[in-house]
Structure 1
Amino acid sequence: MTTDQSAEGYSFEDIQLIASNVLKQTRHKPSIGIICGSGLGGLADIVQDAETVPYSSIPEFPVTTVKGHEGKLVFGYLEGKPVVLMRGRFHYYEGYPMWKVAMPVRVMKAMGISTLIVTNAAGGLNENFKTGDLMILRDHIDLPGLTGECVLIGKNDDRFGPRFPAMVGTYDSELIELAKETAVNLGYSSILREGTYIMIGGPSFETVAESRLLRNWGADAVGMSTVPESVVAKHCGIRVFGISLITDMCSLSYDAANATTHEEVLAIGEKRAGDLQKLICAMIGNMNLNNN
């Protein structure tokens, strides 16, 4: 392992070694990676022929410190497709540098995944949204990246991806269309949205003024994750699908301001998680893994 990861991050060889160590702990070889957001880890409970690898058993792997994020990889099958789920992700606000937040995506790539599904709990900024909606990510705004904390800052190894990757089309258009068709078939049209997700550093929730600013920038939902993982996935050639569960509506008016709590986010996640799980499972069942 590199001796000074705070300066250099993980090398290509580090990632290969971590992936090799993980694969030694499971019989499965995944093609689809799924990152479960706050309160959405229940998807792992329906994985068939499941094998669990705790983060703590993986050398050089971070550990999650947030309630609602258990901290384990779950291997197995969903709808007959080989998958690996992150039941618990890492966040910048936990004190991890950006390159460590997104490191598991590089490990999943080294394990053989070609498709990444990223879920999150998010606050609604679009006045037409409501709590409990599901928002497909059409695009994102990388606020930390725009202010000097891009996940790709540092030395670039071309074996990971190009020095200056284009981020247009980060979220795969065919997967977006598949999700929309699947949602209609499941009867979810009334709760399905599509929009732009903006990432803030956290862990503090937005003030009214900040929410107004983010909305004026064109964001439909706001959260504290997803973007670093999506950027790294795009960088290394993984197709990405992202979806947000709108667990609260951000206050855009001082007259109707409400204070969001993490407990409320988890409660809404638990209430709507079943619908999101059905959507993702149905999508996976109809997914063409040869379409990279």
Structure 2
Amino acid sequence: MIPALRFEHYKLDPKAAGYSGSIVSLSDQAVTPRLGLIWRVSPLVQPYAQWSKGFRAPTPDQVNNGFSNPTQFYQSIGNPDLKAEHANSVEVGLRGKLAETLRWQLSAYDNRYKDFITQEVVRGTGRPTDPLVFQYVNLADARIKGVEARIVWDLMPGLNLNASVAKTRGHSTENGVETPLDSVQPLRGKVGARYETGPWSVETTWVHSSGKKPSDVSTVGWYTPKKYDVVDLGGSYRFDKTYSISTYVTNLFDKKYWRWSDVTGIAATSPVLDSYTAPGRAFQVTLRADF
């Protein structure tokens, strides 16, 4: 049994130098308890549960923000009335390991929020004459629940295989009516492999994302991207304790796809929809120095 108690306080006191708009100051505080339980039945299976209260203060840019991108037909505005977010969270799961070579975890969670902070499209369609306007707002009651699974397998010295999958659903409630949370991502899965020998290492990952269903979107008529699969490939070489070089090819097969987080609020009929696609095949080379 692992109990914990946390006290949090924040104060936002911005200065208006060089800015002609109005700004606001905020402060708040909260006590957030937490209780964790672990039953170590055996190394292979260890059930656990956790209950916690949460508190998240608005960030300065969420409250006092102003940004416009006329070439991409969107802008972001601040919300001086934004309040701190409070959460009541429960998580249960199983985890364990087998012979020090295989580690796994399965979990389910249910988070309920008061004054949930989320970025929403408050007006606009993303057209040149009607740009999107993004703003962080509070939702009086919200709920996010989901399941996650992950496994790591050290197949042999230097070779590591890993896989994970996560499915989340969320909605807000107002006057008894449930509305999907647009900030919730669709199901995502990942499979990766990494091999390391001496100063050399190579790795590859395959990422799958399900499509966004129209029923999981708050507004009818928004573009809902379809599922996609992306493969990345890379490697690195360490010269000594200080210097190393790495190179990666992202989106190896040059897949054309849209991420939900990039097209939230974009109309399905938008004439500039292609400008929101994720990057195609790209090459990256990085030289790193650790002192």
Task: Give me the TM-score of the superposition, normalised by structure 2.
Answer: 0.24
**More strand by percentage:** 2
**More helix by percentage:** 1
Task: Give me the TM-score of the superposition, normalised by structure 1.
Answer: 0.24
Higher normalized contact order (CA 8 Å, seq sep 6+, divided by chain length): 1
Q: Which has the larger radius of gyration?
A: 2
